[in-house]
Chains A and B, each alone.
Chain A
Amino acid sequence: MPQKQIGNATIDVDADGFMTNLSQWTRDIAAALAKEEGIGELTAAHWKVLEYIQKEFKENGAVPTIRRINKTGLVSTKELYDLFPGGPAKKAEKIAGLAKPVGCV
């Protein structure tokens, strides 16, 4: 399994760079991954989304869709695309240390 060095930490990743072991995830790793993804500094609004999808994953074993995130009232679809330009679901999940999204919506 490929590994990746981020600062002093080593993380296990898949072929697309998604983390495969959530227990290795830290906020510093998230910040580094966000920079790599071209998101820049993570703001409070980013963290709100990242924490929500991690919570959903831990509770339901699946990450929420963009539609679901919009429906919770956490952030609107527009805001989500603004926060994570160039593919919000994929980028948010990557930064949150979760697997690549598998759904079509």
Chain B
Amino acid sequence: MAVLTIKNLAKTFNVGTPRASRVLDDISFDVRGGTFVSIVGPSGCGKSTLLNIISGVEEHTSGDISLTSDSGGPARMGYVFQDPRLLPWRSVMKNMMYVQNDRSEATVGRCRKYLEMVGLTKNADFFPGQLSGGMQQRVGIARAFAVEPDLLLMDEPFSHLDAITARGLRAQLQDIWAQSKKTVVFVTHDVVEAVELSDRIIVLQPGGRIFEDITIDLPRPRRQTDPTVATLQAEVLGRLETMKAMARTPEAVA
């Protein structure tokens, strides 16, 4: 069953002014429950805007978005940002609890479980300022999973980290996702990362339209060093190069 359905979505900034600019145009796709979908594309193609619209932080100009919850109640969303966005005055555990809807034993236990999964049980009482950037981002990931979201949105969560830390966190994310099987929409400009993590890649082109919807049918867990992963990464990169070439000749895209 589709958790997220988007139909003919468009977003224009500064509507009705001379500075009006359309960043998303006629976006339609759906995301089935338990899948990991990546949205890739060059800078400025509207990836993060699309995520903000899905989360409700930003309004869309036209089109429909529907979110379905397994529980029948209102759908819950988790969000992992580019930067950790932790409250500096609250401990790690209190940051986890801040986004929860209740303070029950079960909720506290769930927060502890996800902290353990990212290897930060011993740091539960630390303030964010006492942790490294990578550790803070791990708290951000644990926080998002701990709300037991129907849909988990991730906006380039590893882009601010060094290569080695990012690699470790990608492996950790794959493990957590394999255990939780949450529905994930993951924005990245890194095709290699998208192939390693996703079941499906939606490629956005400049102007905010969908260029291609690619299914990644590879066994998990995946590692970048795996030859089949590397081959597919090269193939997807080739398609992106084609898209860029077409974008340079506007009539071809139209």
Say if A and B assemble together: no
User: Chain B interface (Cβ within 8 Å of chain A)?
Assistant: none
